[in-house]
Structure 1
Amino acid sequence: MPETESQLTSLFEHPGHLLRRAQQISVSIFYDEMGSELTPVQYAMLRNLESHGGIDQVSLSAISGIDTSTGATVCARLEEKGLLTRTVIPTNRRQRALTITGAGEQLLSDLIPGSQRLRRRLLAPLTSAEQLQFMALLTKLVQENNEQSRAPLSSVSPATREEG
């Protein structure tokens, strides 16, 4: 065993435990700052749809790092709320093209100040330099371990997905 590694007898020595706790804290602050109109996953899907209009449900799930069954449920809920529309793709009748509605765009716009407060609150315990370092390290941790996920993030476009 390397000198720098302990026996890991305390949960607070386990990165996974700390990441889970950080996620719990993040979700709690999310609802404080963003309200209850959207869940964090719904927000992520809608935010990604905003910049990928016309994308299919499977691809939207992939670029959001969400499994396809959860993605389908989330899209159905967002459609019920009038925040997106799903249209059959003529070339593949099993797929649906997703489009954000005006109400969805307005909601995302209205949530910008809350998302800014969320970020500030979550990172507040860190100095400015630590915030930059933390975000860089967290991004690296997520990117380098992406393939270990049950729903790896994908940057594949719908057109590329159909070809490959």
Structure 2
Amino acid sequence: MSSRAARAPAESRKKKKNELSTDLYEQPGHLIRRAHQISVSMFHEVIGPDITPVQYAALRILQDHPDIDQVTLAKYCALDNSTTANLAVRLEEKGLVERLIPPENKRVRLLRLSGAGAELLESLVPSVHELRRRMLLTLSPNEQETFLALLSKFVHINNEKSRAPLRRDEQA
């Protein structure tokens, strides 16, 4: 086989690598979806089956912002209002939040952690640290920093493209 013939397949592969790939396993959306699946699976493995990642996020927001209404919780969690209303009901049924109706506005539901919700969050602190450790374990410290920086940048820059953009600086 001539050296030219041996170079042809290598050059062809190199050319194809430089072109945009249509390989599903190289598509950013597919990789993000798979990363989400892995993240949720690891969450349940470490935290347990009794609470979902979205429920945990809502509880953490309520820990930092007690007595906010459901619309504000939706904005802070980047969820739509109907999902947040159902989430609040489920968390109340579990005894983790209290939903209050202020006398001045009967249409609003204010949310706060119940004692059980606050205790649950406190008990999860070591597990949350362990979850983060496991999620980033296969990356070097520099890769971890880069990964989190790029992921944060991607989410921040594309926030407005979401069906439910994050709104941390707004009150309802």
TM-score, normalised to structure 2, is: 0.87
Which segments of 5 or more consecutive residues in structure 1 lack a partner in the other structure? none
- Identity value in percent: 50
Counterpart contact for 1:78–1:84, Cα < 8 Å: yes
Match in the other structure for 2:27: 14
Secondary structure of 2:110's partner? strand
**Aligned mates of 1:8, 1:149 — CA distance in 2:** 25
Q: Deviations over 1:82-101 (max 9, x none)?
A: 11101112332211111101
Q: What CA distance in whole angstroms lies between the structure 1 residues aligned with 2:42 and 2:122?
A: 19
Instruction: Tell me the secondary structure at the aligned position of residue 106 of structure 2.
Output: strand
For structure 2, the 5+ residue unaligned runs are 1-15
Matches within 5 A, 1:8-47: 8-47=21-60
How much does 1:5 deviate? 5.9
Paired with 1:33 and 1:99, the residues of 2 have a C-alpha distance of: 25
For residue 160 of structure 2, give the secondary structure of its aligned residue in structure 1.
helix
Aligned match of 1:56: 69
1:53 touches 1:100 (CA, 8 Å); kept in 2? Answer: yes
Q: Which has the larger radius of gyration?
A: 2
Q: Deviations over 1:5-59 (max 9, x none)?
A: 6343211221111000000000000000001121111111111110000100111
Query: Which residue type is aligned with residue 81 of structure 2?
Result: T
What is residue 110 of structure 1 aligned with on the other side? Answer: 123
- In the aligned structure 1, how far is the partner of 2:116 from the partner of 2:160? 35
Partner Cα separation in structure 2 for residue 69 and residue 39 of structure 1: 17
SS at 1:92 equivalent: coil
Mapping of residues 117-156 of structure 1, within 5 Å: 117-156=130-169
**Could you tell me which residue of structure 1 aligns to residue 84 of structure 2?**
71
SS at match of 2:100: strand
Q: Any runs of at least 4 consecutive aligned residues in structure 1 with deviations exceeding 6 A, and if so which?
A: none
- Give the number of equivalent residue pairs: 157
Q: Aligned to 1:29, what secondary structure does the other structure show?
A: helix
**RMSD, matched Cα:** 1.5
